[in-house]
Structure formats: C-alpha cells, structure tokens
Amino acid sequence: MDQRVTMVSALLLTHRLEGRTQGEVVDLLGAPTNTDYFGDWDLVYWLGNERGLFGIDSEWLVLRLGPDGRVVERRVVTD
C-alpha cells in the first residue's frame, strides 16, 4: 500500500477539511494533482493504488469548494 493513502486516511481522522480555504488545504496537503480526472471537483489529489488485495485502480481525494472558496465536500474515490 502506498504511504500517501495511509497518511491521508490518518489526516482525515485528525484534521477537518470542510470549512478550510483552498490556500489552507494546499498548505496542508501540497499542490493538487494536475489531471483531467474528476473535472467536476475543484481540488484533486492522487493518493496511490487502491487499498485491498488486487488494487488495480487508484485512490483519489477530491474536494469541492463553495462560493466562498471553502471546502464544502470531500471524498476518497477510486477510478
């Protein structure tokens, strides 16, 4: 399993992302991944290979910003 997946899982348990500004998220997580995947989300982070026995897909952290530029939704998804 990739370290980043494990680190983000722990981070999501200890740090609330909802309500943070885009700048605060970037300060915490670094620059988002440059990708065309998940175009309906505002910030996308590639986490690594999917957890599990086969792990053929990738896991991603996706964030949606509200009109005020703060995180209103976050999900860990696979492609």
- Confidence check: pLDDT of 1 > 50: no
Residues whose CB is less than 8 angstroms from the CB of residue 50 and which lie 6 or more positions away in sequence, other chains included: 56, 57, 58, 59, 78
Residues 29 and 20: beta-carbon distance below 8 Å: no
**DSSP alpha helices (H): ranges in 1-79?**
3-14, 22-29
Number of other residues whose CB lies within 10 A of the CB of residue 47: 22
Q: How confident is the model at residue 52 (pLDDT cuts 50, 70, 90)?
A: low
Contact 74, 18 (CB under 8 A): yes
- How many percent of the chain have pLDDT more than 90? 57
**pLDDT tens for residues 6-41?**
777 788 888 899 999 999 999 998 999 999 989 999
DSSP conformational letter for 32: P
